[in-house]
Structure 1
Amino acid sequence: MSTPKINVRVISSGILSDDVLMLGENLMKRLKIPAEQLTLQFGSFRHSVAIVPVPRYEGLRMSQTLARRLGVYEGTPLRAQYLASTRSLALGPLIGVLISKDYPNAADKPFGDITLFCRELTEACNNYGAFVYFFTPAALGLNNAVLQGWVYRNGWRQILMPAPDVVHNRLTSRKLENLPVVKRFIKEIKQNDGAHVFNEKFLDKSEVFEALKKDGNLHQYLPESRSLRSFAVLKSMCSRYSPVFLKPVRGSLGKGIIRLARVGPDSWQASYATLSGTRRQTFENLGKLYASISAKMKSVHYLIQQGLNLIDVGGRPVDFRALVQKNAKGRWTVTSIVGRTAGTDHFVSNLARGGTLSKVKEAVVKSNLPLPYRANAALKLKQAALEIAEGIDERIPAEFGELGIDLALDTSGRVWLLEVNSKPSKNDNTPLTEGKIRPSVRMMIQYACYLSGF
């Protein structure tokens, strides 16, 4: 990265004035910072300061009061850049992660299952010279220039922080994402502060497939998919394919998926994905099957999708989760791809439903994919993931920095798209271990630095 990382020294306000910054001479020369009145910038925070050069010193000194207003502390590593056009000294990047819920009374796990991820992200930011805090919709209100955020300093604590340069939206429910206070916050910081928000919205299945169908280059990856709005649509799809899948447009983790397969001249079997396994029910004809799901269709919108002859391991279907992220140059890259094998008596591979993870090569070798197609399977999956991510960027009007792309291989070696998730779980690629910084976390910070100019 071109912006240098420096450590902040905090000096008593009785010794150093709140409107003075002391900078090492070498740093000033390197960044071409003039020794005069400038604007200090940290996220949405702006403050006029006089710059005082310090010989034989490499860091930055500020008063205790000023440090408190920024939310930084003694020894905080930050990157610095001089913006000549606005005569500003910018510190950062300041990253805010918008999470669904906190538990203030749980000192060791204030964010539940994602607490370890938050610690990992904090450690990685310290290494990069970025600053991260975590906040919930409850922190938002009429004045979003200052937010109550969680930081880690020998333990989790809440302090007031300026609005960030970059927001990573990790809200895990559409209900929270659609709160008026959340929508207003995102709109305000983008318009007023020039902040960036990535993964700003959920994707639903119909939206994804309809958007990608407009790109002729992506047709090869798309199973036929239609919104299930009438019996005629069900009859049309079932006349051409067996099986077909009914997928809740806004579902996740395999919840609510129904597999329909012909078991006689007119009869069909519906298989329902449940946590304990697959529940099956047979219907004399499609009309009775449709009648059984029509009540659900009043509250659940389904995508009906062509069934595929996917590879399997001992009869258990296999698919692949690609984690695709934007890098330090703002370009899509594949961070990881893992194989996911469905559990016994399951037809979906999600971990929550008994699925197991493996490396791509291991999953392919164990599967029934014919030998001639095995050698280039990983390369084809990677290429498909990148092309689909680029298609999402081009066709869906929202900012995304990472996507979980679920892919499958059929027994002829063809790659198919199953689903795109804009809020991929942090447990889907590599196991979380204390003290280990995963490539996916490093990539997120690099992209935040790119967005904010650091």
Structure 2
Amino acid sequence: MFPETIGIMFDSRMYRGIPAGRTGQESLANYEQAAACYGLTPCFLRLEDIDLDHKTCLAYVKKEGRYVRERMPLPSVIHNRSLQLRGAEQRQITRLLLQGIQIYNVRNRYRKDYVHEMLRHDPFLKDHLPQAVKATPETLIYMMEHYKDLIIKPCNGSVGHGIMRLFQQNRHWKLTCETRASRKGWATFRLNRGQLPTAILRRIFHHAYLIEERIPLIRYEGRPIDLRVSVQRGEDGLWSVTGMFAKAAPAHTFVTNIAQGGKVMTVAEALGLTAPSMELFQLESRIGMVALRIARTLAASLPHLADLGLDLGITRSGQVFFIECNGRDQRYGFLKAGMKDHWLLTYNKPIAYGRLLLDQNSLIPRQPQTYDRGLY
């Protein structure tokens, strides 16, 4: 007899490391601890190991201190922590949903231009969005005429790769981008007068990019910082802010991503505050209000969202701006910032939401789920 289980779906690379406990930034112990709080046993599975015809799967379950791979009944509720980008994977996910399997965060990567467009239609959020357009040679010219500092980023990029900065300094345009020629991985090039940056044109002709005005972010020791805000559904099914921390860009670049060497710290530390204050409380409240509105707005159009990591920026005047939405928040930034309780909570709340879905399944007949396949 199998205990009541909740599925945690990894991609193959993560899955292969389970027996040796080599799962990168994913903490299996945190999943175990969170599941135990709600009377559940987590099983770790891959999409390709699901046999939908027989409603079974091959999954790892912890037994007597080690992870054992065995065939077991397919969990009726699954928290997705993998990326399914190929057409065959999307079709299999659709089959699972149509069979009534509850998968939350069913898709965890959405194109940046689509996300920006969805948020732009919310009147409240319009003032919290930087000006942004899909990159074409024409829109590039337009943005260079109207703004002196631009960020150009791939619509499908992650962890800061492929991002470029185009800015005007001393009446000359300069381009900062990743390059293998530089020891630090980044370099800045001066453009000839009247010349469009060929590196940008080459990329936007072959891939989808978004051009944004660069927000004048507050700084920590001269380096721009933004905030990662974890917004999740919990045991009541409602969105709430789990926590937030700050990320400062390395000295040699403008990108704050942790994977690019960004420094992680608490919001208080980033603002130079030695102790909690009314100023900090009010700022975090405003940030939380914007983050919750973003999550609810996205959830209204994107089904089965439950776990988001939002990047938000703050200007010196205190304005809050949306930067990016992460559907597979890596969470470990909380641990790096010394916020262990928040780190644990980022695992606990999604499992609590899974417990809610399991309880709902036991009370009402299952209804097939659907999802929009057009937003990758």
Shared fold per TM-score greater than 0.5: yes
- Tell me the equivalent position of 1:199: 105
Q: Give, in angstroms, the shift of residue 136 of structure 1.
A: 1.5
- Tell me the equivalent position of 1:378: 284
AA matched with 1:178: R
Spell out, residue by residue over 1:126-172, the C-alpha distance to the aligned partner (whole angstroms, 9 max, x if none): 23211211112331356361110111112011011212121111114
- Residue 212 of structure 2 aligns to a residue whose secondary structure is strand
AA matched with 1:451: L
- Tell me the equivalent position of 1:397: 302
AA matched with 2:127: Q
Of the three residues 435, 438, 453, the one matched with 2:344 is 438
Q: Distance in 1 between matches of 2:188 and 2:14?
A: 40
Of the three residues 268, 272, 283, the one matched with 1:361 is 268
Q: Distance in 1 between matches of 2:290 and 2:16?
A: 45
Q: Distance in 1 between matches of 2:115 and 2:261?
A: 26
| Distance of aligned partners of 1:270 and 1:432 in 2 relative to their CA distance in 1, 3 Å threshold | closer
CA contact (8 A) 1:253 1:350 kept: yes
- Tell me the equivalent position of 1:302: 209
AA matched with 1:129: G
Is it true that 1:414 corresponds to 2:319 in the alignment?
yes
Using structure 1 for the length normalisation, give the TM-score. 0.71
What count of residue pairs does the alignment treat as equivalent? Answer: 351
Q: Distance in 1 between matches of 2:15 and 2:319?
A: 49
CA contact (8 A) 1:310 1:411 kept: yes
- Residue 189 of structure 2 aligns to a residue whose secondary structure is strand
- Residue 376 of structure 1 aligns to a residue whose secondary structure is helix
Q: Distance in 2 between matches of 1:105 and 1:303?
A: 35
Spell out, residue by residue over 1:45-67, the C-alpha distance to the aligned partner (whole angstroms, 9 max, x if none): xxxxxxxxxxxxxxxxxxxxxx2
Q: Give, in angstroms, the shift of residue 339 of structure 1.
A: 0.8
Q: Give, in angstroms, the shift of residue 294 of structure 1.
A: 2.0
| Distance of aligned partners of 1:429 and 1:168 in 2 relative to their CA distance in 1, 3 Å threshold | same
Q: Distance in 2 between matches of 1:372 and 1:215?
A: 29
CA contact (8 A) 1:341 1:357 kept: yes
CA contact (8 A) 2:159 2:259 kept: yes
- Residue 78 of structure 2 aligns to a residue whose secondary structure is strand
Is it true that 1:135 corresponds to 2:32 in the alignment?
no
CA contact (8 A) 1:96 1:168 kept: yes
CA contact (8 A) 1:260 1:268 kept: yes
Q: Give, in angstroms, the shift of residue 177 of structure 1.
A: 3.5
- Residue 139 of structure 1 aligns to a residue whose secondary structure is strand
1:107-118 maps to which residues of 2 (within 5 A)?
108-109=19-20, 112-114=23-25, 117-118=27-28
Q: Distance in 2 between matches of 1:389 and 1:256?
A: 26
Is it true that 1:165 corresponds to 2:81 in the alignment?
no
- Residue 136 of structure 1 aligns to a residue whose secondary structure is strand
CA contact (8 A) 2:25 2:332 kept: no
Q: Distance in 2 between matches of 1:312 and 1:104?
A: 39
In structure 1, the gaps of 5 or more residues are 1-66, 77-91
- Tell me the equivalent position of 1:30: none
AA matched with 1:361: A
- Tell me the equivalent position of 2:369: none
Spell out, residue by residue over 1:303-356, the C-alpha distance to the aligned partner (whole angstroms, 9 max, x if none): 000111111112200100001000111110000100111112121111111111
Is it true that 1:126 corresponds to 2:26 in the alignment?
no
| Higher alpha-carbon Rg | 1
AA matched with 1:391: T
Of the three residues 129, 133, 136, the one matched with 1:222 is 129
- Tell me the equivalent position of 1:22: none
- Residue 405 of structure 1 aligns to a residue whose secondary structure is strand
- Residue 365 of structure 1 aligns to a residue whose secondary structure is coil
| Distance of aligned partners of 1:285 and 1:109 in 2 relative to their CA distance in 1, 3 Å threshold | farther
| Distance of aligned partners of 1:170 and 1:376 in 2 relative to their CA distance in 1, 3 Å threshold | same
Q: Distance in 1 between matches of 2:175 and 2:330?
A: 29
Is it true that 1:208 corresponds to 2:115 in the alignment?
yes
1:10-21 maps to which residues of 2 (within 5 A)?
none
Of the three residues 160, 181, 195, the one matched with 1:254 is 160
Q: Which has the higher contact order (CA 8 A, sep 6+)?
A: 2
- Residue 216 of structure 1 aligns to a residue whose secondary structure is coil
- Residue 388 of structure 1 aligns to a residue whose secondary structure is helix
Spell out, residue by residue over 1:408-441, the C-alpha distance to the aligned partner (whole angstroms, 9 max, x if none): 10111100000001111131222599x9881111
AA matched with 1:128: Y
- Tell me the equivalent position of 1:243: 149
Q: Distance in 2 between matches of 1:107 and 1:379?
A: 38
| Distance of aligned partners of 1:107 and 1:319 in 2 relative to their CA distance in 1, 3 Å threshold | closer
Is it true that 1:331 corresponds to 2:223 in the alignment?
no
Q: Distance in 1 between matches of 2:217 and 2:330?
A: 24
- Tell me the equivalent position of 1:427: 332
| Distance of aligned partners of 1:144 and 1:317 in 2 relative to their CA distance in 1, 3 Å threshold | farther
AA matched with 1:101: S
CA contact (8 A) 2:105 2:305 kept: yes
Is it true that 1:284 corresponds to 2:195 in the alignment?
no
Q: Distance in 2 between matches of 1:407 and 1:438?
A: 22
- Residue 226 of structure 1 aligns to a residue whose secondary structure is strand
| Distance of aligned partners of 1:137 and 1:195 in 2 relative to their CA distance in 1, 3 Å threshold | closer
CA contact (8 A) 2:226 2:311 kept: yes
- Residue 158 of structure 1 aligns to a residue whose secondary structure is strand
| Distance of aligned partners of 1:362 and 1:106 in 2 relative to their CA distance in 1, 3 Å threshold | closer
Using structure 2 for the length normalisation, give the TM-score. 0.85
**Identity within the alignment, %:** 24
